[in-house]
Amino acid sequence: MRIGIDARLNAYRYGGIPQYTYQLSAALVEQSSSDQFVLLQHWRQRKPLLPMAQVQRATLVTPPHHRLERYSLALEVWPRQLDLLHCPDMVVPRLCPCPTVVTIHDLAFVRYPYILDQAAQRYYHQVFESIWRASAVIAVSEATRRDIVHVLGRPAAQIDVVYEAAAPSFRPLSLPDGDTRSFASGLARGRAYTLTSGEFVLFVSTLEPRKNIPTLLQAVHICCKRPANPPYRLVLAGARGWHDDGIFKLVHRLGLDDVVVFLGGVDQETLLWLYNACRVYVNPSLYEGFGLPVLEAMACGAPSLVSHTSSLPEVAGSAAVLLAPLDTVAWADALEHIWHNADERASRRQQGLVQAARFSWQQAARETLAIYRRLVLQ
Structural domains in the chain, sorted by start: 2-165+360-377 (3.40.50.2000), 180-356 (3.40.50.2000)
pLDDT of residue 295: 97
* Digit-coded pLDDT (tens) for 17-27: 999 999 999 99
Summary mean pLDDT of the chain: 93
Q: Is a pLDDT exceeding 70 seen at residue 29?
A: yes
Give the residue with greater pLDDT, 230 vs 352.
352
112-147 pLDDT, tens digit per residue, is 777 666 777 777 788 888 999 999 999 999 999 999
Q: Binning pLDDT at 50, 70 and 90, where does residue 95 land?
A: confident
What is the mean predicted confidence (pLDDT) over 171-199?
Answer: 86
Predicted local confidence at residue 190, as pLDDT: 63
So what's the pLDDT on residue 373?
96
Q: Taking the model in full, what pTM does it have? A: 0.93
Q: What is the pLDDT of residues 282-291, one digit of tens each?
A: 999 999 999 9
Q: Give the per-residue pLDDT at 286.
A: 94
Q: Tell me: pLDDT of 155 over 70.
A: yes
Q: Each residue of 74-93: pLDDT tens digit?
A: 999 999 999 999 999 999 99
Least confident of 182-191, 250-259, 309-318, 337-346: 182-191
Contacts of 5 (CB under 8 A, 6+ apart): 21, 24, 25, 28, 37, 38, 39, 40, 85, 86, 88
pLDDT at residue number 186: 67
| Nearest-10 crossing angle of helices 245-253, 213-225 | 10
Please state the three-class secondary structure of 136-199 as a single string.
Answer: EEEECCHHHHHHHHHHHCCCHHHEEECCCCCCCCCCCCCCCCCCEEEEECCCCCCCEEEEECCC
